[in-house]
Amino acid sequence: MENLMEEITNVMEFEGIAKKKLPKMVFDYYASGAEDQYTLKLNRSAFEEFRLKPRIMVDVSKQDLSTTVLGHRLSMPIMVAPTAMQKMAHPEGELATARAAAAMGTAMTLSSWATSSVEEVNSVGAGLRFFQLYVYKNRAVVEQLVRRAERAGFKAIALTVDTPRLGRREADIKNRFVLPPGLTLKNFEGLDLGKMDQTADSGLASYVAGQIDRSLTWKDIQWLQTITKLPIFVKGVMSAADTKLAVRHGAQGIIVSNHGARQLDYVCATIQALEEVVIAAEGKIPVFLDGGVRRGTDVLKALALGAQGVFIGRPVVYGLASAGEAGVKKVLQMLRDELELAMALVGCPNVKDINRSIIVTPQDTIREAQAGQATARL
């Protein structure tokens, strides 16, 4: 395994390793998107629309990738996104991911649908952790879970708001996806909500239909604030209008996300929606990006467009499947190293130096050409 890890040159190579190691049903669950999977591809390809404009003759002999989130210092603006059921990928699942994130000095977000409980993740030791929350029809269950996360030392709630129903994931339907034997949704195990219907076309879709509250509205952010002191991030924002509503209703952070392209197909890529959200937030609350990041240059582009950090999902799971904790560390280290190199080459020694001036889009080029033509006419 050490030789394999040494041969890997970028995080995308972990996907092929994971595909060979995992059962088809499990790999397809992690890898697939909704319906035609147009947005799944777009989440990656849209980064190509944004070009970099480097500055030269900048002293980059000393670099600092550190940043702060909610007052907590991170070694880098790269964090771990919530990905469900990680023990399908590796026997240590979320516990290995939590250890790897802590070792790398960054934050991990634990999924509501984890195969390790908030208490088990807390038991692996110190680390900055957020808890991703789905709101169930039974609000007493939600209240109990949020309080457990707070007691276990989690520092924020990432409220997922784009899943009133589960997107149509055809791979899961074909594979009749269900949690493998011996695994449960650990956070709900004692509440008799930890298992899925073994007879459904998609066990997860059936579970969501039966449990998740479709009546969720903006007023529920205030409701959550009555049961916890933790800051609430709204995960799943893709527009300026919803950004303004999130700010108005007391959200303390926004995560631009299309759920890994697993909900509504043919929506924009997250990087395409990011700047609109950042502008609408007006600096009142931090904005983060989740979706499609595979390179250090992707991270750099997101930061230049106003994100305060990015969350990494699938690459972490593929690293976990490939080599457990060491694989997750490798993914995070490679992205960190690529970001550090890209920052040096673009002329930004520190994260705080990254700004919109290093980004060029086709629209920028058109505007510059139009401005040049207007000047020439004068």
Q: Find out whether 356 is annotated in a ligand binding site.
A: no
Q: Find out whether 83 is annotated in a ligand binding site.
A: yes
Q: Find out whether 176 is annotated in a ligand binding site.
A: no
Q: Find out whether 144 is annotated in a ligand binding site.
A: no
The per-residue DSSP string of 46-110 comes to: GGGG-EE----S---SS-B--EEETTEEESSSEEEPP-S-GGGT-TTHHHHHHHHHHHTT--EEE
Whole-angstrom distance, CA of residue 181 vs CA of residue 10: 33
* Residue 295, Ramachandran bin (φ over 0: left; ψ between -120 and 50: alpha; else beta): beta
Q: Find out whether 262 is annotated in a ligand binding site.
A: yes
Mapped onto helix, strand or coil, the DSSP state of residue 214 is coil
Q: Find out whether 235 is annotated in a ligand binding site.
A: yes
Does residue 90 have an active-site annotation? Answer: no
Whole-angstrom distance, CA of residue 253 vs CA of residue 58: 33
Q: Find out whether 164 is annotated in a ligand binding site.
A: no
- Residue in the block written with tokens 């060029």: 360
Whole-angstrom distance, CA of residue 237 vs CA of residue 256: 5
Q: Are 185 and 117 in contact (CB under 8 A)?
A: no
Rg of the chain over all Cα atoms, to the nearest angstrom = 21
Q: Which of 72, 90, 249, 259 is catalytic?
A: 259
Whole-angstrom distance, CA of residue 143 vs CA of residue 340: 41
Q: Find out whether 293 is annotated in a ligand binding site.
A: yes
Q: Find out whether 132 is annotated in a ligand binding site.
A: yes
Token pair listed for 375: 């000047």
Q: Find out whether 139 is annotated in a ligand binding site.
A: no
Q: Find out whether 82 is annotated in a ligand binding site.
A: yes
Cross-strand partners of 69: 72
Q: Find out whether 228 is annotated in a ligand binding site.
A: no
Token pair listed for 79: 């964090």
Binding residues for FMN: 82-84, 111, 160, 235, 257, 290-294, 313-314
Binding residues: 29, 82-84, 111, 132, 134, 160, 169, 235, 257, 259, 262, 290-294, 313-314
* Catalytic positions: 259
Binding residues for glyoxylate: 29, 132, 134, 169, 259, 262
